[in-house]
Amino acid sequence: MSPDAATPNALDDVNVPGGDATRFRRLCRSSPWRWESLRFSVEWRAPHAGADDVVPVPRVNAWLRRPDALRVESDDARLLFSTTRINDSKDAFYVTGSRSPWLLPPRLVAPVYDDEGLVQRRPEAKYGDPVFGNGRWAAMLDPVELAGNSDVPVDTAFENVVELHGLASVTHAGRPAMEAVLTPNRSFEPAHAGQPLIGLGTPAPRTRVRIDAATSVCVEAEVLDGESAGAGHSLSIHAVDEYMLDDLFVEHSVDLTDVRDHIPWVVGEW
**Higher model confidence: residue 16 or residue 228?**
228
**Three-state secondary structure string covering 191-248:** CCCCCCCCCCCCCCCCEEEEEECCCCCEEEEEECCCCCCCCEEEEEEEEECCCCCHHH
Cis-peptide, bond into residue 203, ω within 30° of zero: yes
Residue 22 has pLDDT above 60, yes or no: yes
Query: Over the stretch 55-64, which tens digit does the pLDDT of each residue have?
Result: 567 899 999 9
Query: Mean pLDDT, the chain, as a whole number?
Result: 84
Phi, psi dihedrals of residue 18, rounded to the nearest 5°: -60, -40
| CATH code 2.30.30 for 8-84+107-248 | no
Domain boundaries, the chain: 8-84+107-248
Alpha-carbon span 122 to 110, nearest angstrom: 8
What pLDDT score does 5 carry?
38
Query: Over the stretch 159-208, which tens digit does the pLDDT of each residue have?
Result: 899 999 999 999 999 999 999 999 999 999 999 988 999 999 889 999 99
**Higher model confidence: residue 68 or residue 256?**
68
CA atoms within 13 A on the CB side of 95: 1
Share of the chain above pLDDT 90, in %: 61
| Residue pair 182/206 in contact by the 8 Å Cβ criterion | yes
- DSSP designation for 56: B
Query: Over the stretch 103-135, which tens digit does the pLDDT of each residue have?
Result: 889 999 999 999 999 999 999 999 999 999 899
Q: How many CB atoms lie within 10 A of CB 135?
A: 16
